[in-house]
């Protein structure tokens, strides 16, 4: 890898878990317009995908950028579950005429989903799926290995939550100490063996690079341990250090953070280790074992990128439940109230907790489709008008990508090279008209660095 490219392309750019990115949203649709958009696009055969945000954590991790509440009061969950149930009841009134839709998938994220008791998981899922589950239902849940209980695993199996994701971050003891997340390898190893013995469909590890005290030696040791277990999927995210926005990150010792070339080397080392071990580089920061659900979706071009990362999405309607959750339809996005107490009060009064959002323009939809193709498949087929527009507007940037060996053209097909895959965000920004407009003489929102 030409390390001079790091300085050239390391710049603040959206992660493109949605398009437009949240900072460029222009305002939520009315409740009636949101409802009508879902009604027009809902297909009972495809159902809806649900994302359920559980914001509670028992301990604060200093690196965390999620919307969460730190508490050891487990009874805090009861009123929140009631609010989730009320929210779901409110959200089916307009678009579904009060009838529960078929559910294609449920993804529990956080925070810490296993903050909920097994009884509350069962109560909640039984309520959400009253309209039935699709024949190809996918249930996924994020796990904090430090607080998971056997009763959780039993209820997950019972309720078809067969895909689990473990928050690992790093296995090095020094790094864990610096980020305030202590979980020895022996703990993860024992949990992993239990999950395998229980025949969960897939196991994902979430890891992060760019954390304090990480070095090439610690990354190699971490991935040696990862490979000794062999998870089906691995997400290796870039740490976004934004202490001005995330106050808990003020606890991070900035002098210990790897940056620029040093940080990029950590990613490239892990990538080379995973590729040598037959893991498939399926997207910007995700890797999958051959034969796993995501690798199959990648090979069949069924992969999608959303607020949950890379997923297999069959429905075109995502309903977010819980504080800060985002819902998406083919016509608009809406996000829920982030403050948990305000969210609960709003839902318990029978009202929708939407606060911000965005109605998609035709230009937004076109850009979103191109970015999805690039980030999920590594290529984009351009119409003549799209190719002309890009070459006219971004001729200089486009030629730089080609000259640096990151991008190539074959007819109307724009193709990411293997060298270009780590710079996927930079190339996706070619299609981002909102970012271009903000960069011309204006001060835009702060995004994380692309490297």
The predicted structure's pLDDT at residue 185: 98
Report the candidate in 62, 17, 57, 79 with the shortest Cα–Cα distance to residue 320.
17
Instruction: Indicate the helix (H) or strand (E) that contains 305.
Output: strand 303-306
Report the candidate in 168, 171, 113, 163 with the shortest Cα–Cα distance to residue 138.
163
pLDDT tens, residue by residue, 388-400? 777 776 677 888 8
Instruction: Indicate the helix (H) or strand (E) that contains 192.
Output: helix 185-197
User: What's the Cα-to-Cα distance from 193 to each of 67, 129, 236, rounded to whole Å?
Assistant: 30, 30, 22
Mean pLDDT, range 79-96, rounded to an integer: 95
- Tokens representing 303? 């992969």
Whether residue 445 has pLDDT greater than 70: no
The predicted structure's pLDDT at residue 115: 97
pLDDT tens, residue by residue, 165-177? 999 999 999 999 9
Rounded Cα–Cα distance for residues 356 and 371 (Å): 23
Rounded Cα–Cα distance for residues 303 and 311 (Å): 6
Whether residue 444 has pLDDT greater than 70: no
Domain boundaries, the chain: 22-359
The predicted structure's pLDDT at residue 312: 84
pLDDT tens, residue by residue, 308-323? 888 886 799 999 999 9
Within the chain, how many helices (H) and strands (E) appear?
Answer: 16, 19
Whether residue 193 has pLDDT greater than 80: yes
Rounded Cα–Cα distance for residues 201 and 411 (Å): 40
Question: Taking the CA of residue 160 as centre, how many other CA atoms within 13 Å lie in the half-sphere pointing to its CB?
Answer: 15
pLDDT tens, residue by residue, 388-440? 777 776 677 888 899 999 999 888 899 999 999 999 999 999 889 999 887 65
What length is written for the chain?
Answer: 451
Rounded Cα–Cα distance for residues 5 and 261 (Å): 9
Give the pLDDT band (50/70/90) at residue 384: confident
The predicted structure's pLDDT at residue 411: 85
The predicted structure's pLDDT at residue 39: 93
The predicted structure's pLDDT at residue 249: 95
Mean pLDDT, range 265-271, rounded to an integer: 96
Rounded Cα–Cα distance for residues 231 and 288 (Å): 8
Report the candidate in 24, 3, 4 with the shortest Cα–Cα distance to residue 13.
24
Least confident of 214-223, 328-337, 351-360, 426-435: 426-435
- Tokens representing 140? 């996924």
Q: Could you tell me the pTM of the whole model?
A: 0.94
Specify whether the CB–CB gap between 201 and 293 falls below 8 A: yes
Residues forming a β-bridge with 108: 52, 141
pLDDT tens, residue by residue, 24-61? 999 999 999 999 999 999 999 899 999 999 999 999 99
The predicted structure's pLDDT at residue 225: 98
Fold category of 22-359 in CATH: pyruvate-formate lyase- activating enzyme (3.80.30)
Q: Phi then psi for 356, rounded to 5 degrees? A: -125, 165
* Percent of all residues in the chain with a pLDDT value above 90, rounded to a whole number: 81
Rounded Cα–Cα distance for residues 251 and 232 (Å): 33
Which one is predicted more confidently, 390 or 134?
134
* Percent of all residues in the chain with a pLDDT value above 70, rounded to a whole number: 97
The predicted structure's pLDDT at residue 406: 94
Specify whether the CB–CB gap between 37 and 332 falls below 8 A: yes
The predicted structure's pLDDT at residue 382: 87
The predicted structure's pLDDT at residue 176: 98
pLDDT tens, residue by residue, 327-349? 999 999 999 999 999 999 999 99
Q: Where does 71-172 have alpha helices with state H?
A: 76-91, 118-128, 150-158
């Amino acid at each position: 890898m030409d390390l001079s490219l790091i300085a050239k392309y390391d710049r603040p750019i959206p992660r493109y878990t949605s398009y437009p990115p949240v900072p460029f949203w222009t305002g939520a649709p009315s409740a009636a317009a949101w409802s009508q958009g879902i009604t027009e696009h809902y297909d009972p055969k495809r159902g809806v995908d649900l994302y359920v945000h559980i914001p509670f954590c028992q301990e604060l991790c200093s690196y965390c950028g999620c919307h969460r509440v730190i508490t050891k009061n487990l009874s805090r969950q009861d009123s929140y579950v009631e609010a989730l149930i009320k929210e779901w009841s409110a959200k089916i009134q307009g678009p579904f005429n009060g009838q529960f839709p078929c559910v294609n998938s449920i993804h529990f994220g956080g925070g810490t989903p296993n903050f909920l008791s097994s009884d509350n998981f069962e109560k909640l899922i039984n309520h959400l799926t009253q309209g039935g589950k699709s024949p190809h239902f996918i249930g996924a849940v994020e796990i904090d290995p430090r607080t998971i209980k056997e009763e959780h695993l039993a209820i997950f199996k019972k309720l078809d939550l067969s895909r689990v994701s473990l928050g690992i971050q790093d296995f090095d003891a020094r790094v864990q100490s610096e980020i305030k997340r202590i979980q020895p390898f022996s703990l993860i190893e024992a949990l992993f063996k239990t999950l395998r013995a229980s025949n969960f469909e897939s196991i994902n590890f979430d890891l992060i690079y760019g954390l304090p005290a990480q070095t090439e030696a610690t990354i190699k040791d971490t991935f040696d341990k990862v490979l000794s277990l062999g998870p089906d999927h691995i997400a290796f995210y870039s740490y976004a250090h934004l202490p001005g926005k995330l106050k808990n990150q003020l606890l991070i010792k900035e002098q210990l953070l790897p940056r620029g070339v040093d940080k990029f080397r950590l990613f490239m080392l892990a990538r080379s280790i995973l590729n040598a071990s037959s893991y498939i580089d399926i997207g910007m920061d995700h890797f999958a074992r051959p034969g796993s659900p995501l690798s199959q979706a990648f090979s069949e071009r069924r992969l999608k990128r959303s607020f949950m990362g890379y997923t297999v999405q069959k429905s075109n309607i995502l309903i977010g439940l819980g504080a800060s959750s985002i819902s998406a339809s083919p016509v608009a996005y809406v996000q829920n109230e982030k403050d948990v107490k305000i969210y609960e009060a709003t839902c318990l009064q029978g009202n929708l907790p939407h606060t911000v959002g965005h109605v998609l323009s035709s230009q937004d939809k076109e850009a979103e489709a191109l970015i999805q193709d690039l980030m999920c498949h590594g290529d984009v087929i351009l119409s003549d008008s799209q190719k002309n527009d890009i070459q006219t507007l971004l001729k200089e940037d486009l030629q730089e990508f080609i000259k640096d060996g990151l991008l190539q053209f074959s007819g109307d097909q724009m193709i990411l090279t293997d060298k270009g895959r780590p710079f996927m965000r930079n190339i996706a920004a070619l299609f981002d008209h909102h970012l271009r407009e903000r960069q011309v003489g204006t001060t835009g929102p702060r995004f994380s660095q692309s490297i």
